[in-house]
A and B are shown apart, each in its own frame.
Chain A
Amino acid sequence: MIKRALNGFTTAWKGLSLTLKHFFNAKADKKIKSVEHSGYFDQTEGIVTVQYPKETIPVPEVGRYQLHVEIDDCIVCDLCAKICPVNCIDIESIKATEAIGKTSDGSVKRLYAPKFDIDMAKCMYCGLCTTVCPTECITMTSEYDRSVPHISDLNYKFANMTEAEAEEKRQALEQQLAERQAAKLAALKQDNKE
């Protein structure tokens, strides 16, 4: 019995001295380092808490976080929406009547995007959309802590056209199509005559 009691005391003391060591080591914080830092795993002592909104751990550059679309660089090719495994990207396109400008890398834009929605609530952060994008306009930012009051707010809208503008473009396209159709019919008529 005495042996067991002594054993109990020595093992309890082992634990108590360990916690006491941690208690007195709590004077210093661990330095906040990026995981890419060479000394990241060397800090074994000190407080581990990161007081989050005030301090943050730097995120790796290649990390996959929130999506962002630079709509001026988008050629509305719809590749991202097609590759998306969870169908969280919803794009509507209107053909322009003529080339409407160039993106920053020189691609010619021929389509308007009245609707470019990414539902981040559905997104699984695979990053496929960013790899297929021909103009690199859809990217992943280093922001990861977006919180919203309602789930619908997670449906990010990137299109910068108003409904009126979109309607105008639609009319223009219809008109152009109608004109072409008329021209075609006229040409057919002429063919038939001859």
Chain B
Amino acid sequence: MDFYILYILTASLIFAFIAVFSLFGVYAERKISAFIQDRLGPMEVGKFGWMQTLADILKLIQKEFIVPTVADKVLFTLAPVIIFVAVYLGFAALPWAPGLTPVSMNLGVFYVFAIISVEALGILMAGWGSNNKYSLIGAVRSVAQIVSYEIPIGFAIIAAVMIAQTLDLQLIGLNQGVLAQQEIRFFGFWDVKAIGGILAWNIFQAPHLIIAYIIYFIASLAECNRAPFDIPEAESELIGGFHTEYTGLRFAFIFLAEYAMMFLVAMFGVTLFLGAWNTPLPNIGSLKLADYTTGMFWGIFWVLIKSLLVVAAQMWIRWTLPRLRVDQLMSLCWKVLTPLAFACLVISGLWRLLLF
């Protein structure tokens, strides 16, 4: 019986984390955008407006559920649930600290990659079910975009997996620091297993993974429909894209999924490329910084810091770069990212064959 309680507790903890992250993610996004544009952002609700998003969610909860008369009621109602659940389930396999993974599975990478693709289905359901041309255009764009960008993102992930030699996310994390079970070489020649820190991260174990990570990062922006790849939402041309017709809590769930997705792709990238829960501080001689800063608490701390920094970079990019056109988006994906990611994949293969 006890493990059922544990399951429920884990699930609620993840949900609580997503909710809190989304609330303050929205606040952070508004503040970052404001500062970038020389504005102040929300200032009225609470000191420096920190309760603004709490007030917003309170408002959203009180709103009426409006279903358009010509909408497909089943699809329309189910879509936000599917969108959110797809992202929510993705969190299950991500490791937070040494030995701390909600669900430990030896196919973690494959599972996360597969489950977040289900979001595309939810988006298409939302767009089709709304029976609104803007929603449908948004949804179709979103699906085209997500399906296309899964190819470079997949190649980039496989390039990292080939270096790590495992699909288990916990093991991938383990092999990027001082706790590694196999030997780690910085740039393929210098054994850094005892030193650990930033030198042991996957992107430094094999330098071409830096390019793979950049490809992953760009493609992950497209995966979560964020600017400069936000053509599915494109406020100025499609109103809100697939979520135009949604109100109240349903809209809140789509929004929640969007911010959860940002954190999910950031954390997934951190796990695969940026040393997961490992500390960036190396052991220097007798100063065992890496050993000191590894452990349960430190693991959660580092993975949070790294992921939040990546999320901050996503926001920074959103408020800098203008939206791409559909054809530019596709040509970037198929003509630049896919060949580059494929090259990374080949290098990873050669790296494994020739160096070990």
Contact = CB atoms under 8 A, between A and B. Distances in A.
A12 B218 CA distance: 12
Given A5-B336, A15-B320, A23 B40 contact: no
Contacts of A20: 316
A18 B316 CA distance: 11
B320 A16 contact: yes
A178 interface: no
A1 B38 contact: no
Given A1-B336, A5-B336, A19 B38 contact: no
A5 B336 CA distance: 7
Interface in A1-33: 1, 4-5, 12, 15-16, 18-20, 22-23, 25-26
B317 A16 contact: yes
Contact of B40 (A5, A25, A49): A49
B36 interface: yes
A98 B321 CA distance: 77
A12 B321 contact: yes
Contacts of B39: 47-49
A23 B317 CA distance: 12
A134 interface: no
Interface string B313-356: 00011011100000000000001100110000000000000000
Contacts of A19: 36, 316, 319-320
A127 interface: no
Most A-side CB within 10 Å, residue of B36, B321, B336: B36
Given A16-B316, A19-B316, A23-B32, A47 B40 contact: yes
A47 B36 contact: no
Nearest to B317: A16
A15 B335 contact: no
Contacts of B321: 12, 15-16
Interface string A119-134: 0000000000000000
B35 A1 contact: no
A19 B43 CA distance: 21
Interface in B30-47: 32, 34-40, 43
A47 B31 CA distance: 12
A51 interface: yes
Contact of B38 (A12, A16, A22, A51): A22
A22 B32 CA distance: 10
Contacts of B336: 1, 4-5
Contacts of B317: 16
A48 B37 CA distance: 9
B316 A23 contact: yes
Nearest to A29: B40
Interface string A143-181: 000000000000000000000000000000000000000
Given A1-B335, A51-B43, A26 B38 contact: yes
Interface string B5-46: 000000000000000000000000000101111111001000
A47 B39 CA distance: 5
Interface string A70-105: 000000000000000000000000000000000000
A48 B38 contact: yes
A22 B35 contact: yes
Contacts of B38: 22, 25-26, 46-49
A46 B319 CA distance: 17
A1 B335 CA distance: 8
Contact of A22 (B37, B339, B340): B37
Contacts of B36: 19, 22-23, 26
Most B-side CB within 10 Å, residue of A12, A20, A23, A47: A23
A16 B12 CA distance: 37
B353 to A, nearest CB: 26
Nearest to A22: B36
B341 to A, nearest CB: 13
B246 to A, nearest CB: 30
Contacts of B37: 22
A5 B34 CA distance: 30
Given A16-B316, A19-B319, 19 more contacts: A1-B339, A5-B336, A12-B320, A12-B321, A15-B320, A18-B320, A19-B320, A20-B316, A22-B38, A23-B316, A26-B34, A26-B35, A26-B36, A47-B39, A47-B40, A48-B38, A48-B39, A49-B38, A51-B40
Question: Top 6 nearest A-B pairs by Cβ distance?
Answer: A26-B35, A49-B40, A19-B320, A19-B36, A15-B320, A23-B35
Interface of B: 32, 34-40, 43, 316-317, 319-321, 335-336, 339-340
6 contacts: A1-B335, A20-B316, A26-B35, A47-B40, A49-B38, A51-B40
